[in-house]
Amino acid sequence: MDNQLTIDKDWWPAPAKLNLFLHIVGRYENGYHQLQSLFQMLDCGDSLAFDLLDSSNIVMETPLKGVPDEDNLIIKAAKLLAKHCNLTSGVAISLKKHLPMGGGIGGGSSNAATTLVALNHLWRCNLSVKTLANLGLQLGADVPIFIHGLTAFAGGVGEEITPAPQKEQWFLVANPGVHISTADVFRDPELPRNTPIMEWSDYTFEETRNDCQQFVEDRYPEVAKLLQWLLHYAPSRMTGTGACVFATFKSRMEAEKIQALMPNSWSSFVSKGVNISPLQEKLKLVNATSDMN
């Protein structure tokens, strides 16, 4: 069945991201946190396919275990777009899930962004990237960065985006097997929230950090254990609010060499950092095909 699904459907990428750093520089009156981060796009992630329906139903063809459709960001994104554009269009959505949930590498947010971008094309909504990003912000702070699809600095709650191309690196991304709630991390009064605001031009990996990392390590020993292991081999850091951590390498070969040494209790993958996300590359391809037709 899975092979048949792969053959017959047009899959849209929902790429992973890494926060190369994450500073919490304050808090707004509405409770949202003011952040600074560098979002690094990766060349791998989940995949989604969209089968348009004659009815107005918006459904998951491959439901996520433990996640009711009404709570799924994919369904929420599709319904939000349909409402914004006053559409009665329906769609059945399939998901090939590769990214861990609660891993801090953007799975849910990336899925929502891909849904907005793909259905904007398939439903012929013709909304601008800016409008889609504003819609995406209603679903989550990280959604706009995936809609823009560029490796970029982000400020505010994540919506102030400045493209920041990085030199090509390879990343070993590892998951210690624990689920961490982003909401719980940001809700905790002990989380540091006073890092000085940085000029983007001053960025270096060495002079930045993840303000959530020590907080998470203190509460999730398996995250601390994994980070300590990786730091023996390469510069390493937690991404987002965790639980995934990453190590940086100059080549795939170097990353895979360390991956082969990793204990079996941790899952991992090797991925290349890209400056334009696979979603944007897919959109260029389908637009070019549409123009030819």
| Each residue's pLDDT tens digit, 90-122 | 999 999 999 988 789 999 999 999 999 999 999
Average pLDDT, the chain: 94
Please, which residues have CB within 8 angstroms of residue 102's CB and are 6 or more apart in sequence?
178, 179, 180, 181, 182, 243
* Phi–psi pair at 264, nearest 5 degrees: -65, -15
Query: Per-residue confidence at 159, pLDDT binned at 50, 70, 90?
Result: confident
- N residues, the chain: 293
Q: What is the pLDDT of residue 3?
A: 45
Catalytic residue among 76, 142, 211, 282: 142
Structure confidence by residue, pLDDT tens digits, 164-203: 999 999 999 999 999 898 889 999 999 999 999 999 999 9
* Domain of residue 81, CATH code: 3.30.230.10
Report in angstroms the alpha-carbon separations of 77 from 46, 83, 87, 114, 180.
16, 10, 13, 9, 23
- Is residue 109 a contact partner of residue 144, using CB atoms and an 8 Å limit? no
Band of pLDDT at residue 293, cut at 50, 70 and 90: low
Told to judge if 17 belongs to the known catalytic residues of this protein, a careful annotator would answer yes
Q: In the annotation, is 257 catalytic?
A: no
* Count of the separate structural domains present in the chain: 1
Q: What is the mean pLDDT of residues 271-281?
A: 98
Kindly report whether the global pTM for this prediction surpasses the value 0.75: yes
For residue 292, is pLDDT > 80?
no
What does the pLDDT look like over 9-45, one tens digit per residue?
999 999 999 999 999 999 999 888 999 999 999 999 9
pLDDT at 103 (0 to 100): 87
Active-site residue (options: 2, 9, 10, 17): 17
Say if residues 107 and 113 touch (Cβ distance below 8 Å). Answer: no
DSSP 9-50: S-EEEEEEEEEEEEEEEEE-TTSPEEEEEEEEEEEEEEEEEE
- Alpha carbon distance 24, 26 (integer Å): 6
**6, pLDDT greater than 60:** no
Could you please report the per-residue DSSP string of 57-99? -EEESSPPTT--GGG-HHHHHHHHHHHHTT---EEEEEEE--S
Task: Say whether pLDDT at 263 is over 90.
Answer: yes
Domain that holds residue 212: 1-293
Question: Minimal CA–CA distance to 112: which of 124, 99, 56, 88?
Answer: 99
In the predicted structure, residue 5 carries a pLDDT above the cut 60? no
Residue pair 245/223 in contact by the 8 Å Cβ criterion: yes
Tell me if 216 sits within 8 A of 243, measured CB to CB. Answer: yes
In this model, does residue 2 exceed pLDDT 90?
A: no
pLDDT at 128 over 80: yes
- Reduced to 3 states, what is the DSSP secondary structure of residue 110? helix
Per-residue pLDDT at 7: 56
Q: Which pair of tokens denotes residue 221?
A: 């020993």
